[in-house]
Structure 1
Amino acid sequence: MQPFEYVRATDPAAGVAAAAALAGSRYLAGGTNLVDLMKEEVERPPRVVDITRLPLRQVQRTRGGLSLGALLTNTETANHPLVRENYPLLSQAIVAGASGQLRNMATNGGNLLQRTRCNYFYDLATPCNKRQPGSGCAARDGRNRIHAVLGWSEACVATYPGDMANALYALDAAVRVRTPAGAERLIPVTELHRLPGDTPQRDTTLEPGELILGIELPVAAAAFARHAHYLKVRDRASYAFAMVSVAAALELDGQRIRQARVVLGSVAHKPWRSAVAEAALVGQSVGEAAFRQAGQLALQDARPLAHNGYKVELGRRAVERALMRAARLA
């Protein structure tokens, strides 16, 4: 691990100022991703700003819905009665991630900002445009079983590995951010993460020094509370990243679908919300036919690599299965 300057933030303004003052600075919360990256020297921040003592652990009802603090742990979030009652999809997704020990440490803000998954990203002996822009992408012609089938570019085929964000995309959440100028802005969570394009080193749309303060869940998303399911398909039953995951949510009027959400994880550089699949479900009767079509549509633009073609059919079936379980038909 490279030497770095350690700064403990006393309030959000001081934390943002410290991070913005030195390019490449990183915030430290639970550290479950950052510390690993620093140990491997994939990340070499000149300054680490410790925000663990900031007052960002609230769970509050708001006129718009529910506000979750950025420093609330994943465990606290998943187990909170207001989340379990109104947004059970979020609880399911969080519990599907990592292990109990990691969920006890990982924070909501840090979870959203975890780096994309690729073995070559962690291997300093191989080229990686995300780690060293312009060096190339070893995964394109390498072992790419875990890599993207949607939205990838010639510069990067890595996937976003998180679970919580997939549910937040389905729930139309927003992320509240403090800027170095002292203002606050609200970012729809679907606009937080980026596709790789020509700049895969940038995982999110956050500007340098910006600090996530909290996550805002809209009251309207509680309409999905009765019919939602998070499905995670992985190599082993626990403590493993997904090969494919699906956050599925339905609002039903009897047996007819009023609105739907379909978000796939581990298939792209960011959670992949399928607007075309959602639109096709509206007005349909719940059942295998409608859900199978949604799966086909969700993966219609897939471009598999040499070793991950299985993700296309797996993704289609996972969408169908997740929707069946959301509708309580399986």
Structure 2
Amino acid sequence: AALVALPKASELVASVIATNGVGLDSAVLVATTSLVLDPTPPMGGTAVVLPPLKGQSACCSVEPVVSGTQEEPGYWVDTTAATSLRVGWGGAVDDETGVATVEVAVGTAPFRSDVVPFTLVTGEAAASVPVEGRGLQQGQTYVVSVRFGNGAGAKRVLGAAGTVTVDATAPVAGSVVDTLVADDDDADVADIDARTGSTAIAARFEAFTEDVSTITTYEWAAGTVPGGEQLRAFEPVALGSGAWPGAVEAAGLVIAADGTSVFVSVRATNAAGICTTASSDGVVLDRSGPTPATDLALVVDLD
């Protein structure tokens, strides 16, 4: 029989005649069926690594960057030796037979499934993919691949649909030093212990360091205890350049009494939403300054 090119949507009629040994034919058997030919896999589609179902371990209100995509890799907070990644997907289309199956794999590089082989997922457009026996390793980058299949069995793989790196460690703090002025660019910043006649404070701080992800936010506050916000709540601060790139200052602090110690605290948050706070050793504020003596005796020795 010759091969015939058929349109994607066709109605086929099959006729069968049986002939015996003496040349007699049977009645014609006719079968009619509708057949959809679908030689192309689903097109389009996206996937993303989603935040865990439970809350993050962030110690502050800054949202972690955990929605990893191919264009913008994310960072994952792994505080309990997590054994799964949550993956969301959508957007794939197939005009002939529809998207019938979705499979998800996890690897250490695009198109690899060396961590989790392709696993059929069903139901909602999101699922937790178990990473059994290995857990999610600190500093490791994981690449999620999604395979869409249509009703005819044709499949297409998104080889790097979502990328996420596990970061379970906080940034390493730099030093925070109380100073007289905030714009002191001297590499040898001198720490002060007291200020008289003023309720102003100033401080310089070193850049914090982060080995796995990046530091996304710096904030600072002032309080009567290290890390406290009794006098000034945490607010964002930008870094400058130089050996001490951070500079903060505030005037008119309302203190309960002269001799109050004030601590400047700096908080840095990384892309996984984990933060570290460092504080100065404190500066004593004295609004009145020294009290002049009122009873002085002058003794002159003429000998």
More helix by share: 1
Task: Say whether the fold is shared (TM-score over 0.5).
Answer: no
More strand by share: 2
Alignment TM-score, normalising by the size of structure 2:
0.23
Alignment TM-score, normalising by the size of structure 1:
0.22
